Amino acid sequence: MRSKILILSDLIQTVEELRKSGKQIVFTNGCFDILHVGHVRYLAAARSEGDVLVVGLNSDVSVKLIKPDNRPIVTQEQRAEVLAGLVFVDFITIFDESDPLALISAIKPDILVKGADWKEKEIVGADVVKAYGGKVVRVEVVPGISTSRIIRRIIKCYEHMGGE
Protein backbone atom coordinates (compact mmCIF):
# COMPACT_ATOMS: atom_id res chain seq x y z
CA MET A 1 0.00 0.00 0.00
CA ARG A 2 2.79 2.41 0.81
CA SER A 3 3.94 2.14 -2.81
CA LYS A 4 0.87 4.22 -3.70
CA ILE A 5 2.15 7.15 -1.62
CA LEU A 6 4.62 9.10 -3.74
CA ILE A 7 6.57 12.31 -3.45
CA LEU A 8 5.70 14.77 -6.19
CA SER A 9 8.77 14.19 -8.38
CA ASP A 10 8.13 10.42 -8.45
CA LEU A 11 4.43 10.97 -9.05
CA ILE A 12 5.09 13.26 -12.02
CA GLN A 13 7.35 10.64 -13.60
CA THR A 14 4.78 7.88 -12.98
CA VAL A 15 1.92 9.95 -14.37
CA GLU A 16 3.93 10.82 -17.50
CA GLU A 17 4.60 7.12 -18.14
CA LEU A 18 0.94 6.22 -17.62
CA ARG A 19 -0.19 9.04 -19.90
CA LYS A 20 2.20 7.84 -22.65
CA SER A 21 0.53 4.42 -22.43
CA GLY A 22 -2.85 6.06 -23.08
CA LYS A 23 -4.18 6.26 -19.54
CA GLN A 24 -6.45 9.12 -18.50
CA ILE A 25 -5.32 10.72 -15.25
CA VAL A 26 -7.95 11.86 -12.76
CA PHE A 27 -7.04 14.17 -9.88
CA THR A 28 -8.85 15.17 -6.75
CA ASN A 29 -7.75 16.49 -3.41
CA GLY A 30 -8.84 16.82 0.18
CA CYS A 31 -8.03 16.41 3.85
CA PHE A 32 -9.81 13.07 4.34
CA ASP A 33 -9.34 13.51 8.09
CA ILE A 34 -11.81 10.90 9.34
CA LEU A 35 -12.63 8.70 6.37
CA HIS A 36 -16.39 8.16 6.01
CA VAL A 37 -18.91 6.89 3.47
CA GLY A 38 -19.11 10.30 1.80
CA HIS A 39 -15.37 10.16 1.10
CA VAL A 40 -15.55 6.58 -0.15
CA ARG A 41 -18.41 7.27 -2.57
CA TYR A 42 -16.74 10.48 -3.74
CA LEU A 43 -13.40 8.78 -4.43
CA ALA A 44 -15.09 5.86 -6.19
CA ALA A 45 -16.99 8.32 -8.41
CA ALA A 46 -13.78 10.23 -9.12
CA ARG A 47 -11.99 7.04 -10.15
CA SER A 48 -14.82 6.11 -12.51
CA GLU A 49 -14.05 9.24 -14.55
CA GLY A 50 -10.76 7.87 -15.90
CA ASP A 51 -8.07 5.21 -15.66
CA VAL A 52 -5.87 6.38 -12.80
CA LEU A 53 -6.92 8.30 -9.67
CA VAL A 54 -4.36 10.57 -8.04
CA VAL A 55 -5.31 12.06 -4.68
CA GLY A 56 -3.63 15.21 -3.44
CA LEU A 57 -3.74 14.92 0.35
CA ASN A 58 -3.53 18.06 2.45
CA SER A 59 -0.61 17.71 4.86
CA ASP A 60 -1.06 18.36 8.57
CA VAL A 61 0.39 21.85 7.99
CA SER A 62 -2.04 22.46 5.13
CA VAL A 63 -5.05 21.25 7.14
CA LYS A 64 -4.17 23.68 9.93
CA LEU A 65 -4.28 26.52 7.36
CA ILE A 66 -7.80 25.73 6.14
CA LYS A 67 -9.66 23.95 8.95
CA PRO A 68 -10.69 24.88 12.51
CA ASP A 69 -8.38 24.49 15.48
CA ASN A 70 -7.37 21.01 16.60
CA ARG A 71 -7.48 19.60 13.07
CA PRO A 72 -6.40 17.30 11.67
CA ILE A 73 -7.56 14.59 14.02
CA VAL A 74 -5.57 11.91 12.16
CA THR A 75 -1.95 12.45 11.04
CA GLN A 76 -1.08 12.81 7.36
CA GLU A 77 0.84 9.53 7.35
CA GLN A 78 -2.15 7.64 8.73
CA ARG A 79 -4.61 9.42 6.42
CA ALA A 80 -2.41 8.57 3.43
CA GLU A 81 -2.16 4.92 4.44
CA VAL A 82 -5.93 4.61 4.87
CA LEU A 83 -6.48 6.15 1.41
CA ALA A 84 -3.86 3.79 -0.05
CA GLY A 85 -5.96 0.89 1.23
CA LEU A 86 -8.82 1.85 -1.07
CA VAL A 87 -8.77 -0.18 -4.28
CA PHE A 88 -9.91 2.74 -6.45
CA VAL A 89 -7.16 5.12 -5.24
CA ASP A 90 -4.06 4.60 -7.38
CA PHE A 91 -1.66 7.22 -6.01
CA ILE A 92 -1.48 9.73 -3.18
CA THR A 93 0.82 12.68 -2.79
CA ILE A 94 0.91 14.99 0.21
CA PHE A 95 1.07 18.76 -0.22
CA ASP A 96 1.70 21.60 2.25
CA GLU A 97 0.02 24.51 0.47
CA SER A 98 -3.46 25.74 1.38
CA ASP A 99 -4.70 24.76 -2.08
CA PRO A 100 -3.61 22.25 -4.74
CA LEU A 101 -2.94 24.70 -7.60
CA ALA A 102 0.81 24.00 -7.82
CA LEU A 103 0.13 20.26 -7.63
CA ILE A 104 -2.49 20.39 -10.39
CA SER A 105 -0.17 22.48 -12.56
CA ALA A 106 2.63 19.94 -12.07
CA ILE A 107 0.56 16.78 -12.62
CA LYS A 108 -1.62 18.16 -15.45
CA PRO A 109 -4.52 15.75 -14.92
CA ASP A 110 -6.86 15.01 -17.79
CA ILE A 111 -9.81 15.24 -15.41
CA LEU A 112 -10.13 17.32 -12.26
CA VAL A 113 -12.83 16.15 -9.84
CA LYS A 114 -14.45 18.02 -6.95
CA GLY A 115 -17.70 17.67 -5.09
CA ALA A 116 -20.89 19.17 -6.50
CA ASP A 117 -20.97 21.41 -3.43
CA TRP A 118 -18.27 23.45 -5.22
CA LYS A 119 -19.26 25.81 -8.02
CA GLU A 120 -17.01 25.22 -11.02
CA LYS A 121 -15.71 28.80 -10.95
CA GLU A 122 -14.58 28.21 -7.34
CA ILE A 123 -12.68 25.00 -8.04
CA VAL A 124 -8.96 25.64 -7.68
CA GLY A 125 -7.14 24.64 -10.86
CA ALA A 126 -10.26 24.34 -13.03
CA ASP A 127 -9.04 27.12 -15.32
CA VAL A 128 -5.60 25.50 -15.60
CA VAL A 129 -7.00 22.09 -16.51
CA LYS A 130 -9.47 23.48 -19.02
CA ALA A 131 -6.75 25.66 -20.62
CA TYR A 132 -4.85 22.58 -21.85
CA GLY A 133 -7.97 20.69 -22.90
CA GLY A 134 -8.74 18.76 -19.72
CA LYS A 135 -12.14 18.67 -18.12
CA VAL A 136 -13.63 19.42 -14.73
CA VAL A 137 -16.20 17.07 -13.21
CA ARG A 138 -18.33 17.78 -10.17
CA VAL A 139 -19.65 14.65 -8.41
CA GLU A 140 -22.57 14.46 -6.04
CA VAL A 141 -21.83 14.44 -2.34
CA VAL A 142 -23.61 12.36 0.29
CA PRO A 143 -26.00 14.72 2.08
CA GLY A 144 -25.69 15.08 5.83
CA ILE A 145 -22.27 13.43 6.10
CA SER A 146 -19.09 15.33 6.88
CA THR A 147 -16.05 15.01 9.08
CA SER A 148 -17.17 18.07 11.07
CA ARG A 149 -20.57 16.48 11.76
CA ILE A 150 -18.91 13.24 12.87
CA ILE A 151 -16.62 15.17 15.22
CA ARG A 152 -19.62 17.01 16.70
CA ARG A 153 -21.41 13.67 17.25
CA ILE A 154 -18.33 12.23 18.97
CA ILE A 155 -18.11 15.26 21.26
CA LYS A 156 -21.83 15.00 22.07
CA CYS A 157 -21.47 11.28 22.89
CA TYR A 158 -18.41 12.01 25.01
CA GLU A 159 -20.23 14.71 26.95
CA HIS A 160 -23.26 12.43 27.38
CA MET A 161 -20.97 9.81 28.95
CA GLY A 162 -19.81 12.39 31.47
CA GLY A 163 -16.61 13.33 29.69
CA GLU A 164 -14.80 10.21 30.77
What is the domain count for the chain?
Answer: 1
pLDDT tens, residue order, the chain (164 aa): 679 999 999 999 999 999 999 999 999 999 999 999 999 999 999 999 999 999 999 999 999 998 877 889 999 999 999 999 999 999 999 999 999 999 999 999 999 999 998 898 999 999 999 999 999 999 998 888 888 888 888 888 888 787 65
Q: Give residues with Cβ within 8 angstroms of 34, minimum separation 6.
A: 73, 74, 147, 150, 151
User: Which structural domain, as residue segments, surrounds residue 95?
Assistant: 2-160
pLDDT of residue 43: 97
pLDDT of residue 161: 80
b/e burial code for range 52-67 (CB count within 10 A of at least 16 → b): bbbbbbbbbebbeeeb
Closest CA to 1 of 113, 78, 96, 94: 78
Strands (E), the chain: 25-30, 52-58, 91-95, 111-115, 135-139
pLDDT of residue 70: 84
pLDDT of residue 164: 59
pTM: 0.92
DSSP 36: -
Q: What is the residue type of 124?
A: V
Tell me, what CATH number does 141's domain have?
3.40.50.620
